[in-house]
Chains A and B, each alone.
Chain A
């Protein structure tokens, strides 16, 4: 990843700024969730405009569990589809965030996110859907460009990871600083 020069900057205290695993984890969850929602939201909107029905993309995802019956079992398949979409998006978001630090530039993260989106698209189109979910593969064949565009949107969502890493690290640092300040104040009071 492209790093900004402040990554290894030594602070006044002499310690090196490092991104905590917790911040990365949280950032991965949020970015993955945003990417997943952007992706499925776009597909649902597109399906609605094309007359295929807003819930069809979720039902098609639900076909991973229910098979072709996902189209007639009702809300269960829709719920399963939504959970699969968010679950997979979050897991991939966390994995992506492991390679991101506070200093990673937004542009580099966006490019990497888009690459990840394209890789997922290729894997789904060529290997996963034809063998694991032919029901969804048939639906995707009707809207191939939209499906590709949705993966790019997911990549853009992942591209937000460094911003979230910075946000969560900052909050953590502020928390730590205020904790230190409180401890010092307590020690001072005790000594008095």
Chain B
């Protein structure tokens, strides 16, 4: 009986060893496959200008040279810089809406945006300071061309048209930011950053919901005015 059990044990051990070696083989073959694609000899027609594939391969090779710690820090700094810039932009647009908004709801919404994004930005700055990224975050945060265009467009609008444009912009900005943060949350490897994103998303969802509620109200009041008129 004991002999039989020993034999069965040996067979199990053998099967396990085979499975492990096969899996290890797969892993190494995958790992080895990457350098071959990266070091593929350039085709004659692509020798002059590097193809997208070559650029990607070069970028991944460069990333491979950077240690994981540095890569994590860079990624954290990049995400924090984006959030910081978004907060600054939202505060700027909301300040404009506080002055130019034609109804109380829009002005109250603008006030809330200023308060929430200021509060969130303080947390962003604190995390950047803690992770030693403060300088990088402040340096890399700058207004994009799109944001400048939006600002110009809003500056030129007035009254109900301004309200509509501002609310549409706030809604689409927040929707985009939520999607971006959800993606960043999956890629993030910094606990503080993950916690920040977890706290930010519900607030941003509220901002988006409020913008939509106000847009609907404006639309309804506009329709009512038309009916009465």
Residues of A within 8 A of B (CB): 47, 50-53, 56, 68-69, 71-74, 134-135, 137-139, 141-142
Question: CB-CB < 8 A to B198: which residues of A?
Answer: 141
**Chain B interface category by residue count:** 20 to 34
Question: CB-CB < 8 A to A53: which residues of B?
Answer: 111-112, 115
Is A141 within 8 A of B199, CB to CB? yes
Is B203 within 8 A of A138, CB to CB? yes
- Interchain CB contact (< 8 A) of A69 among B118, B199, B203, B210: B210
- Interchain CB contact (< 8 A) of A50 among B108, B119, B209, B210: B119
B18 within 8 A of A: no
> Which residue on A lies nearest to B121, using beta carbons?
A51
B114-125 vs A: 1/0 string, CB under 8 Å?
A: 011011101100
In the complex, A134 Cα to B205 Cα: how many Å?
Answer: 11
Complex A-B, nearest 4 residue pairs according to Cβ-Cβ distance, in ascending order:
A138-B202, A53-B115, A51-B118, A52-B119
Is B105 within 8 A of A72, CB to CB? yes
Residues of B within 8 A of A (CB): 104-105, 108-109, 111-112, 115-116, 118-120, 122-123, 198-199, 202-203, 206, 209-210, 213-214
Given known pairs A51-B122, A52-B115, A135-B206, the reply for A72 and B199 (CB within 8 Å) is: no
Question: CB-CB < 8 A to B199: which residues of A?
Answer: 138, 141-142
> Which residue on B lies nearest to A134, using beta carbons?
B202
Is A71 within 8 A of B118, CB to CB? no
In the complex, A141 Cα to B112 Cα: how many Å?
Answer: 17
Question: CB-CB < 8 A to A71: which residues of B?
Answer: 108-109, 112, 206, 210
- A160–chain B nearest beta-carbon distance, Å: 32
8 residue pairs of the A-B complex, CB under 8 angstroms, read A51-B115, A51-B122, A52-B115, A71-B109, A72-B105, A74-B104, A138-B203, A142-B203
Given contacts A69-B210, A142-B199, 9 further A-B contacts (CB under 8 A): A51-B122, A52-B116, A71-B112, A71-B206, A72-B109, A74-B104, A137-B202, A138-B202, A142-B123
In the complex, A137 Cα to B122 Cα: how many Å?
Answer: 19
Question: CB-CB < 8 A to A141: which residues of B?
Answer: 198-199, 202
Question: CB-CB < 8 A to B119: which residues of A?
Answer: 47, 50-52, 142
